[in-house]
Structure 1
Amino acid sequence: MNAAVAGIKKTVKNIRHLSLEELETFFATLGEKKFRAKQVWEWIWTKQAHSFADMTNLSKELRQKLGDNFSFPALTVDATQYSADGTIKSRFITHEGHLCEGVLIPTDTRYTACVSSQIGCSLSCKFCATGYIERKRNLDFDEIYDEVVLLNQQTERVYGKKLSNIVFMGMGEPLLNYKNVLKAIERITAEDGLAMSPRRITVSTAGVAKMIRQLGDDKVRFKLALSLHAPNDVKRNEIMPINETNNLKALIDALNHFYKQTKNEITLEYILFNNFNDSEKDAQELIKIYRQVPADLVNIIEYNPIDFAKFEKPSDERMEQFMGYLAKAKVNAHLRRSRGKDIDAACGQLANKDN
């Protein structure tokens, strides 16, 4: 036989990309009873199996047939780092060797999983470590689901609790992986999935106006956060190239459309950079944007310096002064202190570094 032909592997479908009905059809072709499909479905989504070998109530022969006909490319943990403040960063590896990161952030009242949606990122935001990594590909919905499962298992193991919240604020732009992110959330919130309330999930975007509007049209039930980070187009163009095609007016219009369609909570995220966007004038421009958007909250975020960027964190006094401007204007704002800085797990620091 020709060596090249001998080396060709049969392409098999990822079993987690099948619907329950498709699984039932497969088992019918084997002459198996319909309930076998339900068993496999439960192993995949409810019992969170990561291989066919985990499906212990199926015969070895049946598990072998599944392995012959389908793939099961699950995400696994490649490395784990523990911060002094209790934050845990996990580096995940895909079946073909790509890396992405997720973070478990514990507080007194909640346990939040910060998950990635892409391997790398194409947006090149100047202040974000992930923006300096080439985008390899989108994460599939089942891989995003795996991130949540693995971080939940970590939460239970370390803290004896379940995850309470999920934020799509890790590597990548969620709205440029729209279908997989929505499908992952559908599985995370499904009764035969992780059964988490969509109200405990926040999707963060750098600002893809068209897809924000699409979220509204799709009547999604989760929360939305806009990574604003600058109060006018000139400054935003400088640090976030996406603003050149998705300017503030387009984003304000899109956020209003999203809220009109869903009534879901909107948060504006705003990282403070020393002597760039932290003046009184910047605060006044931010207040004007806040007045035009049905935002519940403005999250003012402490900047975490990275190797590649020129930006610096303002002094605590300057940050408090900025918060004072917002408070005087009765803006509902919260100063979010960084977690996991000592392990490069804080906002904007995810970069698949070696431990």
Structure 2
Amino acid sequence: MLKLDKKNIRELSLEELETFFATIGEKKFRARQVYEWLWLKPVVQFDEMTNLSKDLRQKLSEQFSLPALREDLTQHSMDGTLKSRFKTVDGHLVEGVLIPTDERRTACVSSQIGCSLSCKFCATGYMDRKRNLEFDEIYDEVVLINRQSEAVYGKKLTNIVFMGMGEPLLNYKNVLRAIEKITSPDGLGMSPRRITVSTAGVAKMIRQLGDDQVRFKLALSLHAANDAKRHEIMPINDSNDIKSLVDALNYFYQKTGNEITFEYILFKDFNDSLKDAEELVHLYRKVPADLMNIIEYNPIDNADFQKPDEDKVTQFMAFLERNRVNVRLRRSRGKDIDAACGQLANK
């Protein structure tokens, strides 16, 4: 949790800001001006609120903190992908990615600084989890990546995926609060149908998403279709086995009707055989999933996994298609700057 000396001004609603300004003898409309600076055209310090008097800006800085995320470094990939390192007010670093295609501009955002799940194929999994990102820090990531999209490609973001550093469902309240602000007319006004939250599989919290009637899409990072193999690469499977995840996903769908996607990275000689594909088909039929994303593996320094040969990938895909699985091969973007799936580690 982020520790601050003064209250974070972005914890205040518009009504609470109006009350504050009334107590210091200022007009009510000042609250709306400040609210716009905080959310619609976010600034990193009070001095940037140029339609306020210097005296009023000083009063705000004395009363409140503004722990905004700042862009620290941005790398440009040969394929047009941008990876940004952001710095928090307490000095931590976290990464986010802008992935452009002809039809879309997608922000891949992080929810934690580091990660506690230790997935064997993921660079972030080899880092310690320092803390959760606060809701406004997650919002800042999206705003900063949106600015990049407008500056580089002349167009706003079309989609957001919570597939960066950390496990979103282990930062549940902040992720949902950030999405609430991202989709609010007082925020970015983005449709929740254009947001996907990806989880390594926290069954209890998947059920909670159903109870909370969320409107965004859900993706499960599966990567193996039986417990023995999944346990080997994803320790979270010990406490969240495949059966519990299938039950939770069905509950989520029953409550929300929202799209569910399976994410499956192919690892050479580990989960790429036709027997693995057969098990995957069997599992796919247990859940009303819309899509199976087969993902190209991206090598990292700490792991010995390799990418399968193209022939193996083609056979695997063909088997799924023959068995009426709605499957898509997701080619990696930004590999040359360590921005691809599983590579985020503040390098």
Amino acid aligned to 2:20: F
Counterpart selection for 1:122 from 116, 119, 129: 116
Give the equivalent residue in structure 1 for 2:338: 344
1:290 equivalent in structure 2: 284
Which residue does the alignment assign to 1:154? 148
What are the ranges of 5 or more consecutive residues in structure 2 without an aligned counterpart? Answer: none
Q: Could you give the per-residue CA deviations for residues 37-59 of structure 1, whole angstroms, max 9, x where no partner exists?
A: 12211111112222212211111
Which amino acid is the alignment partner of residue 275 of structure 1?
D
1:145, distance to aligned residue in structure 2 (A) = 0.6
Partner of 1:334: 328
**Native 8 Å contact 2:43 2:68 kept in 1:** no
Contact 2:86 2:93 in 1 (8 A): yes
> Does structure 1 residue 90 correspond to structure 2 residue 84?
yes
Match of 2:5 in 1: 11
SS of the residue corresponding to residue 177 of structure 1 reads helix
Match of 1:62 in 2: 56
1:134-173 per-residue CA deviation (whole Å, 9 max, x = no partner) reads: 0000000100011001001101111111100000000000
Q: Alpha-carbon deviations, 1:16-63, whole Å to 9, x = none?
A: 111222212211210112221122111111122222122111111111
Partner of 1:257 in structure 2? 251
Q: Identify the residue that residue 211 of structure 2 maps to in structure 1.
A: 217
In the alignment, the residues of structure 1 paired with residue 237 and residue 28 of structure 2 have an alpha-carbon distance, to the nearest angstrom, of 52
How far apart, CA to CA, are the structure 2 residues paired with 1:277 and 1:317?
Answer: 15
Aligned to 2:231: 237
Structure 1 residue corresponding to 2:29, chosen from 14, 29, 35: 35
Amino acid at match of 2:167: E
Per the alignment, residue 161 of structure 2 pairs with 167
Which residue identity is paired with 2:48? Answer: D
Q: Which residue of 2 aligns with 1:317?
A: 311
User: May I ask how many residue pairs the two structures share in their alignment?
Assistant: 345
Q: Is 1:72 matched up with 2:66?
A: yes
TM-score between both structures, scaled by the size of structure 2: 0.98
Report the 3-state secondary structure (helix = DSSP H, G, I; strand = E; otherwise coil) of the residue aligned with 2:255.
Answer: helix
For the residues of structure 2 that align with 1:19 and 1:265, how far apart are their CA atoms? 31
Counterpart residue number, 1:6: none
Post-superposition Cα deviations, 1:163-203, rounded to whole Å, max 9, x if no partner, equal 00000000000000000000000110000100001000000
Q: Name the counterpart of 1:141.
A: 135
Contact 2:84 2:97 in 1 (8 A): yes
RMSD of the TM alignment (CA)? 1.1
2:101 is equivalent to residue 107 of structure 1:
yes
SS, match of residue 294 in structure 2? strand
Q: Which amino acid in the other structure matches residue 150 of structure 1?
A: L
In structure 1, give the amino acid aligned to 2:119: C
Q: Percent identity?
A: 75
Distance 2:111 2:5 in 1: 25
